[in-house]
Structure 1
Amino acid sequence: MQRASRLNRELQLLNKEPPPGVTCWQQEGSMDDLRAQVVGGLGTPYEGGIFNLEIIIPERYPFEPPKIRFLTPIYHPNIDSAGRICLDILKLPPKGAWRPALNISTVLTSIQLLMSEPNPDDPLMADISSRVQVQQGNILVQCQKMD
C-alpha cells in the first residue's frame, strides 16, 4: 500500500510540476508500467529530439530503483542499443547510488542531464565513448543520422 500511495503522489507531482522537457504517464491498466518522454536539450546533439522511455516499477520500490530504458534509439556512450542506461542512481549500492529518498522525477532529470553531459569514463558503448573523447562533432553527425 505504501508503494502505491507513494507512486500516486510522484505521478501527481510529475503531472502538476514536471521537470522542463519531461512528460510521464502510466500505461493503461498498470500501475507498474510507466512511459516518459524526454526532449533533447538545447545546444546538445539531441536538440529537437523526443525520446521515449519505458519505466518499470519493481515490487520493492522505493527500496529498489525503477527499471528504465530508452525505447527510442539513441547514439550515446552511456546508453546501449537495447536502450539500457548506465547511470549510478539506477543501481543499488555498493556499485550504485539509488536511495529511497530519490524519485522518478529526479531520475528523469538525471537522464536528461546525462544526455547533455555524457560520461565517457563509464561507458556501455565503448566505441561511442572513444569517439566522444576524440571528436565531439562526430556525435552530432551520428545523432542526426538516427533521426
Structure 2
Amino acid sequence: MIKSEPPEGCSASPIDEGNLLVWQATVVGPTDSEWEGGIFSLRFTFTERYPEKPPRVRFCSEMFHPNVYQDGSLCMDVLSDQWSPCHNISTLLTSIQSLLTDPNCSSPANPEAASLYLHDRAAYKK
C-alpha cells in the first residue's frame, strides 16, 4: 500500500529488497509549519515481532524538534505505549507529519526545543 498509495508528501521503501526489516522513508515538511519546504529522511527498523511490536523510527536528517531525541529517535506515544498492530508505515508517516506541525511539548525528548517552541518561537525557527 505504501508504494501504490503513499500519504501526500511521503515515500518509503526497503533499503535492500533482500532485507524487508529496514526501510528508508522521506517526509516533506508540512505547509504552514517551521519545516515547510524541507525534505527529511527517516529509517524504520522492524523486528520479527512486527506488527505486534512497533518499529524503531529515527530521523536520519538532523532535527531540532521537541519530540526528537539527539540520536534522531522519535518520542511518540504511537511508537510506544499507544502502539497498535493496526498501524503501518503510512499511518506512522502521517503521524510524523502531524507531529512536525503540532509538537507535543508536554512530553519532550528535547526540552530545549520544547521550551523555545513554547516561549520564543522566533528563536525556535532559527
- Aligned match for 2:22, one of 11, 27, 33: 33
- Aligned match for 1:90, one of 69, 74, 79: 79
Q: What is the match of residue 40 of structure 2?
A: 51
Give 5+ residue unaligned stretches, structure 2: none
- Aligned match for 1:60, one of 18, 40, 49: 49
| 1:122 aligned counterpart, secondary structure | coil
Q: What is the match of residue 145 of structure 1?
A: none
Q: Distance in 2 between matches of 1:85 and 1:37?
A: 15
Q: What is the match of residue 12 of structure 2?
A: 24
Shift of residue 77, structure 1, vs aligned partner: 0.7
TM-score by structure 1 length? 0.82
How many residues matched?
125
Q: What is the match of residue 109 of structure 1?
A: 94
Q: Residues 83-139 of structure 1: CA distance to partner in whole angstroms, max 9, x if unpaired?
A: 010000101xxxx10011111110111011001101111101111111111012222
Judging by fraction of residues, say which structure has more strand.
2
Q: Which runs of 4+ in 1 moved over 3 A?
A: none
Judging by fraction of residues, say which structure has more helix.
1
Give the % identical residues.
37
Q: Distance in 2 between matches of 1:100 and 1:49?
A: 30
1:121 and 2:121 aligned: no
| 2:13 aligned counterpart, secondary structure | strand
| 1:27 aligned counterpart, secondary structure | strand
CA-atom RMSD in angstroms = 0.8
